[in-house]
Amino acid sequence: MSVQGEKCELAFTGASGFVGRALHAHLSQCPRKFQIIERPALEGLLAGDTGLLPEKLPPVLIHLAGRAHVLAETATDPRTEYQRTNVTLTLALARAAAARGCRRFVFVSTIKVNGEATAPGQVFTESSAPAPQDDYAQSKYDAEQGLWALGEETGMEIVIVRPPLMYGPGVKGNLARLQRWLERGLPLPFGAINNRRSLLALENMVTLLVCCADHPDAAHQLFLASDNDDLSTPQLLRKMARATGRRARLVPVPGPVLRLMLTLLGRTGLAQRLLGSLQVDCRKARTRLGWAPLPTDQTFKEKSP
């Protein structure tokens, strides 16, 4: 059964997270009803207890809660932790949601399901073969597969979104680290890098999720997401600097030299993210849903140096 109407009621998880806070703020400004599924209810599901979930759920549930990609892993068994939170919990929630009247389940996955990089001139699309390369990406892919099967079994509409690296207020990880370096005025050795990276602004992610919740043609679909405005690492750093009224001090160190230096320091993953390319084609979401992402010149809200 398709979800009808431009603005249906919905519920979502992960309200305290990076995307969840922004979605909550967006929905609070709209004339629509929404419901937050709190952490205790999700913890209960992991224990096999559905008693803390409402007996009746809205037509749409957006699932944001999960174990995010961890840069400095401390768990003794990361794979088990990812599988428990991102697969077991997701499928338990989806099954319980279907039993409580939910007709559409929107799941936020990751572009890492497709892989860590794209070759020059190549982009990931919805038809690209999955190639997860770490426990986090594998758990998201496993959850996707379980959801497609559950949708076939129950008739609940499944919608999956794979975003790339997101940015916006409250971002953590490598982007937060780069922002701190820029704020300190440190010279950064990325001036000669000529890669292409797809990013996704937090506000663009929120509007896409709302499209996926509301649009009838989102049913049973996978969407890749981006700002549709790919950047090199130097371009990204300059936009980040200008957004805070600063100037990026970029030193032109050759890419192979910089990659070797980072590899010798044990930062191979960081080297790939800062020096390599990862491009995403978001054409399907734009054409099928009429979603129009804001360009980076607006999302970074640039100021004059």
Per-residue pLDDT of 76-114, as tens digits, reads 788 999 999 999 999 999 999 999 999 999 999 999 999
Identify the three-state secondary structure at position 124: strand
pLDDT at 303 over 70: no
Per-residue pLDDT of 188-207, as tens digits, reads 999 999 999 999 999 999 99
Question: Is 141 annotated as catalytic?
Answer: no
Quick one: average pLDDT of 47-69?
A: 93
What would the two tokens of residue 177 be? 């680290």
Per-residue pLDDT of 23-37, as tens digits, reads 999 999 988 899 999
Tell me, what's the pLDDT at 72?
57
Is the CA virtual torsion 214, 293, 121, 168 positive or negative?
Answer: negative
**pLDDT-based confidence at residue 4 (cuts at 50, 70, 90):** very low
Per-residue pLDDT of 143-172, as tens digits, reads 999 999 999 999 999 999 999 999 998 898
What would the two tokens of residue 88 be? 């077991």
Distant-in-sequence, close-in-space partners of 105: CB < 8 Å, separation ≥ 6 = 60, 61, 63, 94, 97, 98, 147, 151, 156, 157, 158, 159
- Spacing of C-alpha 222 from chain mean position: 13
Tell me, what's the pLDDT at 73?
58
Tell me, what's the pLDDT at 74?
67
Cβ atoms of residues 147 and 162 within 8 Å? no
**pLDDT-based confidence at residue 250 (cuts at 50, 70, 90):** very high
| CB contact burial 230-253 (16+ within 10 A = b; e otherwise) | bbebbbbbbbbbbbeebebebeeb
pLDDT at 120 over 80: yes
Q: From start to end of 133-220, where are the E strands?
A: 157-162, 165-167, 199-201
Tell me, what's the pLDDT at 23?
97
Spatial separation of the C-alpha atoms in residues 117 and 100, rounded to whole Å: 40
Tell me, what's the pLDDT at 128?
98
Top CATH class, 10-170+200-227: alpha beta
Spatial separation of the C-alpha atoms in residues 71 and 25, rounded to whole Å: 28
Distant-in-sequence, close-in-space partners of 187: CB < 8 Å, separation ≥ 6 = 249, 250, 251
Helix axes 135-154, 89-99, angle to 10 degrees: 20
Q: How is residue 31 annotated by DSSP?
A: S
pLDDT at 222 over 60: yes
State which of 5-19, 44-58, 261-275 shows the largest mean pLDDT. 44-58
With a pLDDT cut of 90, the percent of the chain lying above it is 81
Phi, psi dihedral angles at 22 (to 5 degrees):
-70, -40
Spatial separation of the C-alpha atoms in residues 81 and 161, rounded to whole Å: 22
**Mean of per-residue pLDDT scores for the chain:** 92
Identify the three-state secondary structure at position 256: helix
Tell me, what's the pLDDT at 157?
98
Q: What is the pTM of this model?
A: 0.93
The single residue listed with the structure tokens 């997401």 is: 225
Tell me, what's the pLDDT at 268?
87
